Each structure stands twice: as structure tokens, then as C-alpha cells.
Chains A and B, each alone.
Chain A
Amino acid sequence: MTAFRRLDKGGRIDREKSVNFTYDGKSLGGFAGDTLASALLANGKTLTSRSFKYHRPRGIMSAGVEEPNGLFAINGNEPNIPATTVDLVEGLAAQSQNAWPSVDFDLMAVNSFAAPLFQTGFYYKTFMGPFKKSWMFYEPFIRRAAGIGKGSCEKDPDRYETAHEFCDVLVVGAGPAGLTTALVAGRSGARVVLVEQDLELGGQLLSETDRDFEMWRTTQVAELRSLANVTIRTRTTAQGLYDDNLVVLLQRHENHDAARGRPRQTLISLRSKAIIFATGAIERPLVFPNNDRPGVMLASALRTYLNRFAIVPLKRALIVTNNDTAYKTAFDLAEAGIAVTMADHRNVIPSDLLSRAAMLGMAMFPGTGIADVEGAKQVTRVQLAGNHSATIECDVLAMSGGWNPVVHLTSHSGIKPVYDDAIAAFVPGGYAKNHFGAGAVTGKFGFESVIKDGNAAGADAAKAAGFDKPATPVATIGAKDRAYKISPHWAPKTTGKGKAFVDFQSDVTVKDIRTAHDEGYVAVEHLKRYTTLGMGTDQGKTSNINAIGLMAELREMPISQAGTTTFRPPYTGLAVGAIAGRTVGLHFRPYRLSPLHDANKAHGATFIEAGLWMRAWYYAWAGSTPETAYIREMELVRNGVGIADISTLGKIDVQGPDAAEFLNRVYVNGFAKLPVGRARYGVMLSDDGVVLDDGTTTRIADIHYYTTTTTAQAGEVMSWFEYLLQTQWTDLKVHVTSLTDEWAGMAVSGPKSREALQLAFPDADVSNENLPYMGCLDVHLDGVRIRILRLSFSGELAYEVHVPAEYAGSLWEHVLKVAEPLGIRPYGLEALASLRIEKGHVAGLELDHRNTLDDLGLGKIAGKEKSYVGKELRFREALQAPDRWSLVGIELMEPDKKLRGGSILFSAGDEIKGHGRGYITSVTWSTELKKFIALGLYQGGLKHEGEDIICAFPLKNEQVKARIVSPHFIDREGARLNA
């Protein structure tokens, strides 16, 4: 069964180029220039889809982005694509959705009998009402039936890009108004971008037959293409308007090919000095019983299928309207030899239309609308009602309820649209600065007036962008506009038994809206949520205004008072892939490599992500799993000598006459008296008195310091220093610069580390006398200045060797080579972090920006007399409470079990429930104590030293016995690091 056929000639399709595609696996043919929708119609596919809730048969209703019915999954991976927006390309595979086993025979149509399930406010009543439990009962059924389309679980095979673009004047839409404004602005010399969602420029002109229009169109397009300062983007939809004239465009590409780097879509963030909205208007349906049968179509769409795609109804068409524009469709069809019947809600019809209709032999029914539409899988017969009741046999029923200007983009800026009685539709309620409207979006539909206004808007926009040289206006064709007349008709008074659809995609009927009204959901925003009106992928482009009109009628108030819903981006559906762009896989986020990365790799490092850094976790020499390798690496450092990459530490150059004063202010401990050539451990607080970071600072020269921060807080501390110096302490003469990338660092640790350095730097004196604990020594090797700091994170005799980054790799190899006789090996992050636990050094896991100095056992380092950032608020009552969670050491008491990070701590007698008295921050196996040890925060801290606790790990349902001990597990006197 079919309602349409293709003509042998005419239209804009290229009959020389046939295109093969599949529909539900069946091979079909079309032509270049077809959309999927036109190709389906040409192949006689009148019934293409099933509706969302009731699985009613549906067909293509429109020829544009407003399409509510004809949604398909394209090429197996992208659902819910309107067939009207898909260019027909060779090999395209379209799959119908929402129907099982097929659209022709859909078992889910049984939904029609289960209709009470889908009563208005179903979700509200189920979830919010007194019968919440009913959800349990209905859920399995609903899950199976609900949801439009089906996402793919496969990786998206296509490539998507994002891009930034700038211009002086952006023109959205390339109908008569868009072409005019773009050309005028282009002639003024402004950089113009013209975007059009269609594959061709012209908008409504592409559906006209008049040769004067086509001549006008081709002339303007040719000139636009000749201007170097005009960029034309077809297949490009303006999806949203944001602050500062940012418009987000989605461009769809032909010939995309991921392997060759050609994206399928590009999401462009375009910033324009001025914007012209020439977005046109969308025809709205009329609401009558069974207005959703396949073969019922918008009148303008039928005209587009006729004139652009050479598709006509099989033999007979019925057109129902409340305005003049549908007559264009009627006349063109009649001229193409189709028998046309016209039903017009209006009693008074302009005489020129009547006489032309009579001339073409059309049957006319003034003051008449539709009572019912018959036909199971496509329209067969229509019952008329009103001044005339008659039964009309027809293949296609075309409807026009008037025109809705596309006010979406202008509304994104927060300017509400306003109701214009003259056209019975909403128009932009105004324009933001440097925004302009032109054409049908302003509520003007006549060609001549559109060109005239377009010339003015184009010149205004160019001027707003700084191009005020007057440009030659675009010529009109000198025709006379006829006045647009409409008599609004929102909904039938009664709908009988047939469902009269307002929102086709969400299956919302007149009855649903009446119910919402009766139940008090009268505000437009409530109506929307209660009925799901406009909530589909089409966002109610064909339904919202009819619903508002109907609700206003029910409330007996003017439409202007009923208001509209909020328009939000995106204007049309877009692939998530387009939003992600290339921010996927390897490029999901940037990653950071230590200057020693290649060297680490060469030494068999396994890497682990730590923030953005890829850090050497453990090395192959020590084992093949982290659990075993880190223990061998720890033993190496405790007994011999190891070398670790510590280049990720934040490093800051602090210079200037007031550098000492600056550091003295930001650190809780004193730095003013630090001698040149010496380093000091320091802790800094935020203004709120909470610990911000720790690190060491070395005095290089009188007014020159070298500060290190933790890896995690490096950026934060740098910004904080800059903030203080640039906005608060502007009188201090200090300059700070990040050296994190300039200098690499390696820790040489273990009892044999001094010997290793001696071998590495034979000319330097690294003796305990010349380089004591917390000392600093600059040495030279091959003319390269290298900075050795005697610091220890592990608790052993240890050094940090800092070197300009490009030399790091060869220095690392040098040290490993010359110290080979000492058994030196690299050790990784896991061992590094575990050694410090044994020593009781706090790190990122303890410095979580919630703890005070006292919580971490560092209270005594703060200067009593000196002032420092955070001092005042450090003494807030809550931060001084005696039962705060503070740093403790934890020893496992059950040798065959293990401790786990994140375990919740309870006192031995507590009920194991809730948040406990603290938690474990860091865990390691202690190579010295031969047991699991941990650092943690515990209520009251070391006051409970020696007490038994339970460490609960609910995720694994584990509870183990442990004991609170000092966090300094080894060498409490510091004999090793002072050795």
C-alpha cells in the first residue's frame, strides 16, 4: 500500500545519480539530493514508524527538523534521527525503531488496550501519589515499552571534532532573509559566517516553482560564494546561543572517515560581534481526531516533497487549513494533476484564492474542518464537519494550522517570546545588544518585505560590528506581497472516540491536556511536565504552541497570558560524540610525563596515573606485581641505596628583596633566619587555619629561595603565592615562577647513598661536614649545575638531586652506572609512599584540606610569636576541640590478615556501625616490623596510644583487630638521616 509516488521529471534531485540504501535490511533506491524521508516516500513507505506510547502507525509528517514521527536508527549506532534531516548517501542503513517485530505488525500496539496505563500524569501519579508501590508492579512492563529509540552499546566508530571560530556577523538561516542579510553584511566588508542546516541554500525558495525566485536565489548565492570574507556552512545547525555572543554550531560532514581523520560532525563554538537570526518559521499541524494516521502531513511539507523531490500523492489529496499559505500547496498539486479537495476552517476566504481554486477545478469546503480520519495503516477516507459534512476519499491529507516563527535561539538569551495576534503565533520578544532578526522569524512572511527588512538588518548588523560603510542593498524581484490571513484554530470542541494528537512524538492528546487542566496543572511549565508534552527529541516544535492555544482556551484567557515554556539548547538532537569531540581515549585529558619518563621506561618501570602524571609505580628488577615489587624496593632503600624519580614535586623560584619576609608570612614556621645553603621543612595554612601544603624551602642566595610543594598541590600553591603577591601584599618585592618543568628531581636514598653520590660527583665534597642533614650543595658535572639537597622522605640517609630537565635522563643513567657496585636500583612510587608511612611523614592522603596542624601532630613547629597566614582562624574553637580526628599510627594485631586503606576505625568495644571514630589514610607492609602498618585519623588521636581498635572494611565485610601506636614506626630519634 502506498500513498505517494515519484514523478518522472522535476524537482531538485539528480536522477543521473542513483543512491542505494537499506530500510530495515531491505535494499531500496533513491537519488542524490534526496533525504531519507523523501526516498522512503518515493519508495511507497507511507507507514514508517510506531508511536511512543500507543505504538500507533505513523508516517513522515514534515520535511524538516521538526519531524516528530519519522525517527530512525542510522547505521546501527545512532538512534532517533529524523529521516527528514538525513541526506541520502550510498550504503545508508536505516532501521525503524519502537516497533516489534516490525512497523507493519507491531505487537506492542497492544498498548492501545492498556491505554489506562498511559493516562495523563501517569508518572506523577505512580511516583508521587499514595500508590507508590504500583511502580514495582508496572516497572518491568514500562521498561520494555518506554523510551524512544535504543542507544548502541558499541564504541562510536566515527570521529568528531570541536573547533573555535570568530566572525563579525553571523547569519543563522539561508532563506530569503538570511541570504539578503549575509550579502549586505558581506558587501560591507565584514567577516560573515552564514549557516544553514539544509544541504542547499535558499530555505523556502527551494520549494518554489517560480523561475523569478530561483533566478534571485542563484544570483545571491553566486555573489555570496564569490566573497572571500563570507564563509558559508551548510548542513550546519545553530544549536544554542550563550553569553557573549557565543553560538554553538553543529556541522555534519559528507565523506567522513575516522581512519583518515575526517570527522562525521564538528561542534563549532563561534563568537560573533553581531548575530542575525533568520531562522524562519515552522508550520504547525491542525488538531483533529486521528490526525496522526500515516499520510497526514504538513501542507508545506507536501509542497516541498512535490517541488523539491518530485513526489506526489498517488491520486487524491485533501487539504485542511485555517490560513492562506496552504493554497500554494493546493495549487501546485492541482497543476501537477492531483485531484485536490480543500477544507478551510474560515468562512471568509480571500476571493483571489477562491477564483484560482475554481479555475483549477478544486472542490472547496469553506467553514469546514475534519471530524475523523479513517485508514488503519494509511489515510483512506476523511470525514468533514462544519458547514459541510462529507466523506472524502484521499491518499494524503495535508494540514496547515498557521506558522510558528523559530524563536528558539533568541529565547536562549533569556528574552521571552511574545504573542502576535496578527499571525496567531509567538515572535521574539526583543533582541539582545547586537542581535537582529530578519524574515519569517519576525512574523513577516511576504518575500518583498522580507528582502526590504533584510537589507536593513544586514546593514545594522555590519554597523554594530564596526562596518558602517553603506553597502548596496540586495534587489527584490518586484512582486507584490499578499497579506497573510489566519484564523486560529487550536482544537476541536469534541473529539469523539478518536485520539486527537497535539504532540505526536510524546503521544499527548487533546484529552490529556483537558485532564491536566481539570487536575489543576494549568501553568504551561506544569502542563509540560504533567503530560510530557514537548519532552521528546523534537522538543515540541510542532506541538507546543497548539497546546498553549488549547490551554488558553480552556482557561478562557488570552494566549499572551498563558505564556510559553522555556526554550533551551540544543535546538535539535545531537550526538553525545559531537559534544565530546576528540576528548576521548588518549585525549580524554592531558597527561604529564616526568623528564625521566623515557629513562624510567628503559629501566622497566610500570606506570600508574597519579593526577595527570604518569608515574613510575615499580620496576621490573623488583618483581612483576606491585604487591611484591614494592617490598623488595623498600628493602633496597633500608639496606643499600635506591634512586627514585621525584620530578613531579612542585618547584617554585622565589626571588626578590622581600623573599624572606614573604616566606616567613606564608609558612607557619620561620624562614627569615634560614642561612644560605640550608633547607627547612615548612607547612602552610589557608586563611581558614587548615593545612594547605608542606614542602621544603632552600635558601640559594640572600634574596633567592627554592621551594618545593607536594605533587598534588603544586598548582594550587603557585596560584596562592601569586594571589598574595599580586593582590594583597603588593608592597612586597618578590617574584615567583614555577620551576616544576624546568627542574627534574631524583631521590638517592639509603645507608649507601652518600657513597653513591661520591661516585657520581667525584669532584664534590658530599661529606657529612660539608653537606649535613638539611644542607644544600651546588655541584657541577660536565659544566651542568646540579643542586643536591640533603633531605629525607624515607627516614634513611638520603639526598634529592635536582637537575635541569633535559639533562635528567643522562644524569639518571650516570648515577645508576657509577653506583652499580653499591647495588643501586630504581624504586617507584609505591615504595616511596610506603617508606614514608614507616617514617610517619604525612602526604597528600593526610593533607586533605580538612586537617589542622595539631591534627597532624605538627602544632609545635608553628611560630609562637610570629604571624603567619591562617594563624587567627587556626585557633577557632572547633579546630581546637580535644576529640578531633588526629594522626595516629596503626599496627595490625592479626598476623594472617591485612589492613586496608579507607577502613573505618572503631574502639574495641564499639558497635560496628556508622562513621566510626576515624579511618585509615595510608597502609603498607612494613619491611622492618614485618607486619601491616598504617597511618590514620582517629578521634582524640594519640591520647589513645596503645588501645585496641577494630578496622572495619564493609565493602569486603572485613573486621580486623589493630592497635593505636605512634605514627613514627622507625628511627624515632632520626639517627639514620643524620648519619
Chain B
Amino acid sequence: MLDRRSALASAKPYTSSVLQIGEAHGFSLLQVAGLAKAISPITGKLPVKVGLAVTSEGRTLMRTGPNQFWIIGPEVDDIETKLPEIAIITPLSHSRTRIVIEGEPARNVLAKGVPLDFHHSAFKSGTFAMTGLHHTPVLVHCVGENRFEIYALRTFAVSVYEWLTDAALEFAR
């Protein structure tokens, strides 16, 4: 009876021959605060610094603070129950909307709003940045040559999505 509804459920689709913008719905996000050595036996090796992401057993592990990690897994994930009690766990699966932008102009579109260096040599696959897009906090994760996953706050997701698709209007079909 209760069903999950995306913030972008009624957003207008964006179509282009060179660029895709859409939502990648259905993931779980667990924020875990604690020491890496206490958590890594369960999760696998954690990244050593903020801004690096690794993949381990189907999950993406990110270091989002000095002693804080994000575990992004499948929509249903039981890792929460396995983590040590000493870790402080905050489920955040509903708090973020994941917007994917992929294509040759993706880096240019992001550079219209984010004051970061999106050059291939500077923002590589496997890295992420927590930054601002359209004045809202976002986590931008580079997951391929020209593919980015943007974790926007759920309540700003429509605004950010509209901003992005408008920024990409020049590439639209």
C-alpha cells in the first residue's frame, strides 16, 4: 500500500542526442560515523581521504568527512544491521535524489553552475566533490569519462533538475 515516490516523479524528461539527464532511483544511503578501522571489516577497505570513492561488494563507499562515510548500496540493503554498535548510523536513503548526467557536454553543463575544475585531468572517474549547485548542497560523483551522479537534497531536487536541464537546453533535441 505504501510506495516510494521520487521527488522527480513528475519532472519533464530531457532528451538530447549528445547528453542524457535523468534520475537513477532506487538506492540506499547509509551515513556512518566512526573510525575506518572499526567499519572496514564489514564494508571493505574505506577511502583514505574526503573526495575519493571506492566500490566494494556492490556498494559505493565514500569518505564524506574526517571520520564519516557514505555507503551507497542497493535499494534494499541489510548492511545497517551488521555494522558495529560503536558506529553512529544515520539512514539517509530518502534525503537525496540521484540525478545522472552523461554525455560529451556533461562537464560543460556542470561548469555553468559549479565552481570546480571539471577538466578531464582534474575531475576523474572515482572522485567526488561536495559542493554547491544552484545554491544548494550537492555531492557530484564522477562515475565514468563523462558520466556524473549528482546527489541533490530531495526537497531541492526539482529545482536543481530544472536548473540542470535548462543549463543543458543548448544540447537538447
Stretch at the interface among B37-45, B46-54, B141-149, B159-167: B159-167
Q: Which B100-123 residues have C-beta < 8 A from chain A?
A: 108, 111-117, 119, 121-122
Contacts A806-B6, A807-B3, A810-B2 known; A737 to B92 CB distance under 8 Å? yes
Determine the main DSSP class of A at the interface with B. Answer: mixed
Instruction: Given the known inter-chain contacts A163-B112, A587-B166, please indicate yes or no for A741 contacting B9, CB distance below 8 A.
Output: no
In B57-99, which residues have CB < 8 Å from any A CB? 68, 88, 90-96
Contacting residues, chain B, for A806 (C-beta < 8 A): 4-6, 93-94
CB–CB B135/A590 < 8 A: yes
Quick check: A260 and B169 within 8 Å, CB to CB? yes
| In the complex, B20 has a CB within 8 A of chain A | no
Q: Which residues of A contact B114 (CB under 8 A)?
A: 164
Question: Is A24 engaged at the interface, CB distance under 8 Å to the other chain?
Answer: no
CB distance from B50 to the nearest CB of A (A): 15
Asked whether any CB of chain A lies closer than 8 Å to the CB of B136, the reply is yes
Query: Taking the nearest CB of chain A, how far is it from the CB of B127, in angstroms?
Result: 15
* Chain B residues with CB under 8 A of A655: 88, 90
Q: Inside 8 A of B129's CB, which chain A residues have their CB? A: none
Q: Which residues of B contact A595 (CB under 8 A)?
A: 5, 7, 94, 154-155
Q: Are B170 and A261 in contact (CB-based, < 8 A)?
A: yes
Which among A161, A269, A592, A784 is the interface contact of B156 at CB below 8 angstroms?
A592
Q: How far is the CA of A582 from the CA of B154 in the complex (A)?
A: 22
Residue B12 lies at the interface, judged by CB distance under 8 Å to chain A: no
Q: Say if the beta carbon of A743 comes within 8 Å of chain B.
A: yes
The answer on a CB contact under 8 Å between A807 and B170 is no
Contacts of A598 in B (CB 8 A): 5, 9-10
**Which of A164, A261, A740, A741 is close to B111, meaning CB atoms less than 8 Å apart?**
A164
In the complex, whether A850 has a CB less than 8 A from a CB of chain B is: no
Establish whether residues B94 and A743, one from each chain, have CB atoms under 8 Å apart when the complex forms.
Answer: yes
From the candidates A163, A164, A261, A592, name the one contacting B172 in the complex (CB within 8 A).
Answer: A261
Tell me whether A781 is interfacial, beta carbon within 8 Å: yes
Q: Nearest chain B CB to A294's CB is how many angstroms away?
A: 42
Question: Which residues of chain A have C-beta atoms less than 8 A from B135's C-beta?
Answer: 589-590
On chain B, the residues within 8 Å of A807 by CB distance are 2-5, 94
- Give the contact-size bracket for chain B: 35 or more
- Write the A945-960 contact mask toward B (1 if CB under 8 angstroms, else 0): 0000000000000000
A735 at the interface (CB under 8 A from B): yes
The answer to the question of A656 belonging to the interface, with a C-beta cut-off of 8 Å to chain B, is yes
Q: How far is the CA of A804 from the CA of B156 in the complex (A)?
A: 16
Check: A191 CB closer than 8 A to any chain B CB.
Answer: yes
Cross-chain contact B4 with A741 (CB below 8 angstroms): no
Task: Say whether, besides A260-B170, A592-B156, A741 and B1 are in contact (CB < 8 Å).
Answer: no
Instruction: Give A166 to B122 CA distance when docked, in angstroms.
Output: 10
Interchain CA distance A593-B160 in the complex, whole Å = 11
Bound: A809/B7 CA distance, A? 10
Closest chain B residue to A803, Cβ basis:
B2
Chain B residues in 8 Å Cβ range of A805: 7, 94-95, 154
- Count residues of A near B (Cβ-Cβ below 8 Å): 49
| Contacts A587-B163, A598-B5; A164 near B154 (Cβ below 8 A) | no
Known: A164-B111, A587-B163, A806-B5. A593 touches B93 (CB 8 A): no
Flag if B155 contacts A594 (CB, 8 Å): yes
Instruction: Collect the chain A residues with CB atoms within 8 Å of residue B5's CB.
Output: 595, 598, 806-810
B33 touches A593 (CB 8 A): no
Q: Answer yes or no: A731 CB below 8 A from chain B CBs.
A: no
Q: How far is the CB of B70 from chain A (nearest CB, A)?
A: 11
Contact: A810 with B3, CB < 8 Å?
yes
A191→B117 CA distance, assembly (Å): 12
Binary CB contact string for chain A from 731 to 750 against chain B (1 if under 8 A, 0 otherwise)? 00001011111110000000
Task: Give the most central of A613, A647, A738, A806: most B CB within 10 Å.
Answer: A806
* With known contacts A166-B119, A781-B2, A806-B5, A586–B91 Cβ distance under 8 A: no
- How far apart sit A810 and B94, CA to CA, in the bound complex (Å)? 14
Which residues of A sit under 8 angstroms from B33, Cβ to Cβ? 735
Interface members, chain A 712-753 (any B CB < 8 Å): 735, 737-743
Q: Which of B2, B116, B121, B155 contacts A782 (CB 8 A)?
A: B2
Write the B13-47 contact mask toward A (1 if CB under 8 angstroms, else 0): 00000000000000000010100000000000000
Chain B minimum-CB-distance residue to A781: B2
B88-A593 in contact (CB<8A): no
For the complex, give the distance between the alpha carbons of A333 and B158 in Å: 63
The answer on a CB contact under 8 Å between A737 and B94 is: no
For residue A262, CB closer than 8 A to chain B, the reply is yes
Q: How far is the CA of A743 from the CA of B154 in the complex (A)?
A: 10
Selected from B68, B90, B121, B155, the residue in CB contact (under 8 A) with A740 is B155
Per a CB cutoff under 8 Å, which of A269, A735, A739 touches B88?
A735
Q: Which residue of A lies closest to B133 (CB)?
A: A590
Whether A741 pairs with B95 at a CB distance below 8 angstroms is yes
A867 interfacial by beta-carbon distance below 8 Å: no
How far is A589 from B122 in the complex, measured between Cα atoms in Å? 29
A656 to B94, CA, bound (A): 22
A653: interface (CB < 8 Å): yes
Q: Among residues 505 to 540 in chain A, which have CB atoms less than 8 Å away from a CB atom of chain B?
A: none
Is B2's CB under 8 angstroms from A814's CB? yes
Q: In the complex where A805-B95, A805-B154 touch, is A164 in contact with B116 (Cβ < 8 A)?
A: yes
Contact among B119, B155, B172 with A741 in the assembled complex (CB-CB below 8 Å): B155
Q: Kindly report which residue of chain B lies nearest to residue A165, judged by CB atoms.
A: B111
B167 / chain A contacts, CB cutoff of 8 Å = 161, 582
Contacts of B116 in A (CB 8 A): 164
How many angstroms from the CA of A48 to the CA of B100 in the assembled complex? 53
Q: A164: which B residues are within 8 A, CB to CB?
A: 111-116
Q: Which residue of A lies closest to B6 (CB)?
A: A806
Closest approach, in angstroms, between the C-beta of A721 and any C-beta of chain B?
A: 14
Q: How far is the CA of A220 from the CA of B39 in the complex (A)?
A: 57
Give the nearest-CB partner of B108 in chain A.
A163
Do the beta carbons of B158 and A782 come within 8 Å of each other? no
Q: Can you name 16 extra interface pairs (CB under 8 A) apart from A261-B168, A735-B33, A805-B94?
A: A163-B112, A191-B119, A261-B172, A593-B157, A593-B159, A594-B155, A595-B154, A735-B88, A735-B90, A742-B154, A782-B2, A805-B7, A806-B6, A807-B5, A807-B94, A814-B2
Q: List 28 A-B contacts (CB under 8 A).
A: A163-B108, A163-B111, A163-B112, A164-B112, A166-B119, A260-B169, A260-B170, A582-B167, A586-B166, A587-B162, A590-B163, A591-B156, A594-B155, A613-B155, A647-B155, A655-B88, A735-B33, A735-B88, A739-B92, A741-B154, A742-B94, A742-B95, A804-B91, A806-B4, A806-B93, A807-B4, A808-B5, A814-B2
Q: A residues near B, CB below 8 A?
A: 161-166, 191, 260-263, 269, 582, 586-587, 589-595, 597-598, 613, 647, 653, 655-656, 735, 737-743, 781-782, 784, 804-811, 814
5 tightest A-B CB contacts, nearest first: A261-B169, A261-B170, A166-B117, A742-B95, A741-B95
